[in-house]
Chains A and B, each alone.
Chain A
Amino acid sequence: MSSSRLALLWALSWALGCGDGSSSPAPFQVVGGDNVLPLSVNGVHCSSRSFLNKPCVSVTVCEPGTANCQTVDDVILDTGSYGLRLFKQALTVTLPNVPSSDGGNVAECVQFADGTAFWGPVATADVVLAHEPAVRVPIQVVDSTFGAVPPSCTGPETGPTSENGILGVGVFAEDCGPACAADPRNGTYFSSNGSTTSGAAAPVSSQVQNPVALLPVDNNGIVVALPGLAAGTAPSLEGAVVLGIGTRANNRPGPAKTLALDGSGDFTTTISGGPALPGSFVDTGSNGLFFSPPTPIPACADQPDWFCPPALVSLSATNTPSHGLPGASTQVSFQIANFDALVVQPNDGNAVFSQVGGALTFKAGFDWGLPFFLGRTVYLGLEGRRSTLGAGPFVAY
């Protein structure tokens, strides 16, 4: 596997302009290495183009301690979650379930921002990211037929209709943290015993883990590097996730400003003319820019989830750390186009868009989805780990 990697000397260099006045994104050159995980937006690592701005990687999973492995593509690269989750239907290897203290299996209900959920057992796998050494890690096998789904787990997804799984590589090492270790009624972790499911406390070390945190060297964070879009749209894009920050020659940070994140992984965004939004975050797994605009932007008549302004809207925002945490303010300029005119009507095969967004009626945060990452190099530092950009959790760009 690794013999081909030197041939793949991949010197994608993008001098990033991106129209962003006061915060100049860091030029970053992706140079091939064991720690470079190719990232496609509706490109070669996506087996289905099931939604626009879909970021995909391929991940290798092995039965623990064996060479019985498979590579799964069409796995969403998600900086808004933590840990690997694969649909059972996408797996050909058999992974052992993690037993619970009462003799059942540890199971999990992970709920997503859209109200849907992943239900299924926690299993142990040897996971290979890029050409890094394998790490043994608890993952979730998504399986709505496993045991009895608790009633609190609304909207469990039944199969890989949209993607084969999700690789959560955000700023935390585990998916729930101390809250799930302290209380059996945490709503996330359960013990499944045949037809009986009951809430269960899960020690932090046995929760589903972000595999990046377990890498031997490149374990302090990631660099997400995606090229920009000259025309605001493209059929697909190819970029990379470089594992580690400043741990090797190829992940040494360029000029970037660091925003420390709060205990929830959030910072504060203030859109020009609007209130401070302290629950803001960057998230490759959100496929647009979702926020409450200070001046209303009309929603599309047919798809009210998206904005359809009569003309391009240009906005700017300031990102600052929440709660007095350290870090400089940065300005971000962005534009919102008419979704119907940009996406729906052309029907030209484009599946990457930098100017799509939708309304968040709940005025507490800005969801900087995938368009934020286009033409930027974004560094995400893990909680409790250090790099030359500071102590995690942080986002820097």
Chain B
Amino acid sequence: MSWRAQSVAIVLACFGGLTVPALAAGALGEPVASVSADERSLSAVRRTTTTRGLYTIERLESAASTVREFVAPSGVVFAVAWDGVSRPDLSVLLGSYAAPYRRALAHGGATSRRRPRRVESGGVVVETWGHMRSQHGRAYVPALVPPGVDLDELE
């Protein structure tokens, strides 16, 4: 079953009268269709899908952030990007890459800590920037980015 069919099912559930429907988030590096088992979610309230050339973008909106997931033709999430009042739960969104990211953060240098940062570790690149009430960022797995995709598109 494709992730597309799954997203239709979720949309139907939303209109079925559930309160604050919680949509499972696709995790970086994982197939979109496999993440419904994810226990935590981004508390998203709307989900739209668009196709852009080589990949599709799933857009999840919640009260505090908007997340865009970039899905390769293989069905694997190769990048995620976010904007919002607060940062989405990266422990969910980064999937198996959350642990190396957390370790890399802990080894940050003695610089100002209120500045944008690019962390590359364990096969993932995580970029965060912005300020309070306007948090932005993206994460991607260079090895999973389909050939021909310009990184500038991933935002």
Contacts and interface: CB of A to CB of B under 8 A. Distances in A.
Interface of A: 50-54, 76, 78, 80-82, 110-116, 151-152, 154-155, 157, 162, 166, 168, 170, 172, 175-177, 179-180, 182-183, 185-188, 264-266, 279, 281, 283, 285-288, 290, 303-305, 358, 360-365, 367, 369
B133 A361 contact: no
Interface of B: 20, 40, 43, 62-65, 84-92, 98, 101-102, 105-106, 108-119, 126-138, 151-152, 155
Given A112-B113, A155-B106, A187 B86 contact: yes
B23 to A, nearest CB: 12
Contact of B114 (A78, A176, A264, A362): A78
A151 B89 contact: yes
B132 A187 contact: no
Contacts of A365: 129-130, 136
B131 A151 contact: no
Contacts of B64: 179-180, 183, 185-188
B129 to A, nearest CB: 5
Nearest to A50: B110
A101 to B, nearest CB: 17
Contacts of A113: 114-117, 128-131, 135
B107 to A, nearest CB: 11
Contacts of B105: 115-116, 154-155
A10 to B, nearest CB: 27
Given A170-B131, A187-B86, A363 B136 contact: no
A283 B133 CA distance: 13
Per DSSP, chain A at the interface is loop
A84 to B, nearest CB: 13
Contacts of B91: 151-152, 154
B109 to A, nearest CB: 8
A287 B112 contact: yes
Given A113-B114, A115-B128, A116-B113, 19 more contacts: A76-B114, A81-B131, A110-B132, A112-B114, A113-B117, A113-B131, A114-B116, A116-B108, A154-B105, A183-B64, A185-B20, A187-B86, A188-B86, A265-B133, A285-B114, A287-B115, A360-B116, A367-B115, A367-B131
A337 to B, nearest CB: 17
B131 A265 contact: yes
A250 B134 CA distance: 32
B88 A367 contact: no
Nearest to A181: B63
A363 B129 contact: no
Given A179-B63, A185-B43, A114 B128 contact: yes
Contacts of A112: 113-114
Contacts of B119: 115
Contact of B90 (A51, A154, A367): A154
A110 B113 CA distance: 13
Contacts of A303: 109
A116 B138 CA distance: 15
B127 to A, nearest CB: 5
A15 to B, nearest CB: 29
A177 B86 CA distance: 11
The 8 closest A-B pairs by CB, nearest first: A80-B131, A183-B63, A285-B114, A287-B112, A152-B89, A185-B43, A264-B134, A81-B132
Contacts of A182: 63
B85 A54 contact: no
21 contacts: A82-B132, A113-B116, A114-B115, A162-B110, A166-B114, A179-B63, A185-B62, A187-B64, A187-B89, A188-B64, A264-B134, A281-B134, A285-B115, A290-B116, A290-B129, A305-B115, A365-B130, A365-B136, A367-B116, A367-B131, A369-B115
A287 B112 CA distance: 6
A110 B118 CA distance: 19
Contacts of B113: 112, 114, 116, 157, 162
B155 A364 contact: yes
Contacts of A82: 132-133
Contacts of A360: 116, 129
A283 to B, nearest CB: 6
Nearest to A291: B116
B133 A172 contact: yes
B90 A281 contact: no
Interface centre among B62, B127, B128 (most CB of A within 10 A): B128
B135 A111 contact: yes
A2 B111 CA distance: 36
B62 to A, nearest CB: 7
A185 B115 contact: no
Contacts of B20: 183, 185
B127 A362 contact: yes
A287 B132 contact: no
